[in-house]
Amino acid sequence: MKAFADSTRFDLGGLNNVWSETGILMDADGKQLLYFGSDDSTWEIGFRKVLDAFLERSLWPGWNVRFCPRHLVDFAEALGLESPMTPWLGDAPDLYDLKYWIGSESRLDSLNDGEISSAIMVRKGGAHYLHTIDSMYVTDILDHGEELVAPLLKPGLDKLVSGIDGDGLCSSALIDCDGRTLTYWYVDEDRPSEYFQRFWPGWELVDIQDDYQAFSKATDEIVAFDESIDMERAIAGIRACNHIDVYDDKPTIPPEKFESMLSSFLAGYQP
């Protein structure tokens, strides 16, 4: 991989997420491996934690492996370059209809199908209002600005506990009207905070990327996370990563060597 990287040069500013659905950045000086892409590593937080530990201990010892939820924005920041994902700040964009998401025909607090994609919590006047939004990404409605607040000031959930393994929260937002602070986390969002600042003038925006634990603390653990991981599922996912060619399915690392590495890793790993 390093030999390929040394032989390849490109202008980061010429890329965008249409052309770069996955990416790897190797910082040989700082011994950092940054990456994004793959549905499993993006959405399966529990699997990603095990995968990163395997990479650090077995394939890249001495290196820090980090997933980049902001994709090329994180790469540019690591390289000290200007972000290639400049937000469009022209006329107001075509916004989703709030009635669809949090109105009378809403998917608000729809927990029956077992998939929770996002949570949104409002603090106002010392009270809090917590809701889930089914099958959507909470950052997709942050560009409604303060219009979001009023429809959410109604009874919701007392507390929410989400898993990190399989279906569970992938993004959330905390709208603190008393402190005029918007805190949000996500696993897949290439728009930098300047985009959302346009719709929340006078507010402090706290972008904590994929740090769901920090978000839990911000909500006083009203939104909590179950850290349990299905190790059999995670191991199967790591094995699948060794077969990247969908055409001939040849393993990248010879099977015997790979299984030996995996066994050594599992002998000393505690999730």
Listing DSSP states for 255-269 in one string gives HHHHHHHHHHHHHH-
**Token pair of 163, please?**
């898993």
Read off the pTM.
0.86
Predicted confidence (pLDDT) at residue 207 exceeds the cutoff of 80: yes
pLDDT tens, 36-50? 987 778 888 999 999
Determine contact, residues 85/93, Cβ cutoff 8 Å.
Answer: no
Give bridge partners of residue 182 from the DSSP assignment. 175, 205
pLDDT tens, 143-185? 889 999 999 999 999 999 999 987 789 999 999 999 999 999 9
Return d(Cα 170, Cα 21) in angstroms, integer: 18
What pLDDT is attached to residue 82? 78
What pLDDT is attached to residue 190? 84
Q: Cβ neighbours of residue 116 under 8 Å, at least 6 residues apart?
A: 132, 134, 160, 162, 167, 168, 169
